Amino acid sequence: MAFTLMSLRTSNAEAQVPSDGWGHCKIAEVAVFSNRVHVMCASAAKGSGETTIFANQLFYFALPLTDNITLRAFLDMAHAAILSGKTFHAHFPATATAPCGPGDACRVPDSFLYR
């Protein structure tokens, strides 16, 4: 299942995150804020063939509160991953960053799944 999301502003952490890729993590937290929902990884998300900097930087996958259908799917998959003990996987494009504060280690996924 894949979703297309809008591109958002860049942050100070942008230079430390690879151009695009998949991040993989065990979920520690699912939260809803006034401007976003996010999944927090129990430890830094591991990337597919990515650098150590990436593995040490990316802790959150977040979505802005703009698309209820995508948000529901994101939350459903996050909860299913937690309940099943499976890994949450999220792909983020080169131009997307999360609706987090400058320097935060989070990204907006354009696709996500658990397995």
5 occurs within a structural domain: no
Instruction: Return the number of other C-beta atoms located less than 10 Å from residue 108's C-beta.
Output: 24
41 occurs within a structural domain: yes
71 occurs within a structural domain: yes
How do the pLDDT tens digits run along the chain, 115 residues long? 433 332 233 333 333 444 567 888 899 999 999 888 999 988 877 765 544 434 456 788 899 998 899 999 999 999 999 999 999 998 876 655 657 655 667 778 889 999 9
4 occurs within a structural domain: no
The CATH number assigned to the domain holding 83 equals 2.40.50
Domain encompassing residue 37: 12-114
**What is the value of pTM for the model shown?**
0.71
Instruction: Return the number of other C-beta atoms located less than 10 Å from residue 78's C-beta.
Output: 22
7 occurs within a structural domain: no
CB 98 within 8 A of CB 62: yes
Instruction: Return the number of other C-beta atoms located less than 10 Å from residue 33's C-beta.
Output: 11
Looking at the structure of the chain, the number of domains it has is 1
